[in-house]
Amino acid sequence: MSVIVTDTGFAPDRFTGTWFDLESDVDPNALDAQMQGVAAIRIAFASFADGRGFTLAARLRRMGFAGRLRAKGHVIADQYTMARRAGFDEVEIDEALAARQPQAQWLARANWQGHDYRARLRASA
């Protein structure tokens, strides 16, 4: 069973729609025709050391994808801020990872906008 991590903590997966699943090494430009009408994309993370999923999420957002975007797999609590800044709405982890990195560790990074250098630049402009 999976655990969904959001800015408010752990939750069960209540999404009932259809996912468009992607590996982190996919070129989003090659998906143009397949992405028509897609409302939810899930990007797989095979390893916490592989950051290509973050790049893919940011590229999808810059290309105009406004639907639900979920990181799935080996994302650790220390990466939650990066996941949110890259454009992910949520992270899906397994119960074993949730046990090793409890909700408090994820919530400590939930204020992902508060310490963003871009927010500080906008405020000073």
Model pLDDT for residues 101-112, shown as the tens digit of each residue: 999 999 988 876
**Quick check: 90 and 14 in contact, CB under 8 A?**
no
Q: What is the CATH number of the domain that holds 114?
A: 3.20.20.70
Say how many domains are in the chain.
Answer: 1
CA dist 113 and 93 (Å) reads 22
pLDDT of residue 58: 95
Q: The pTM is what?
A: 0.87
pLDDT, tens digit (0-9, with 9 covering 90-100), for 16-57: 999 999 999 998 888 877 888 899 999 999 988 888 999 999
What are 49-104's pLDDT values in tens digits? 888 999 999 999 999 999 999 999 999 999 999 999 999 999 999 999 999 999 99
Domain hosting 6: range is: 2-124
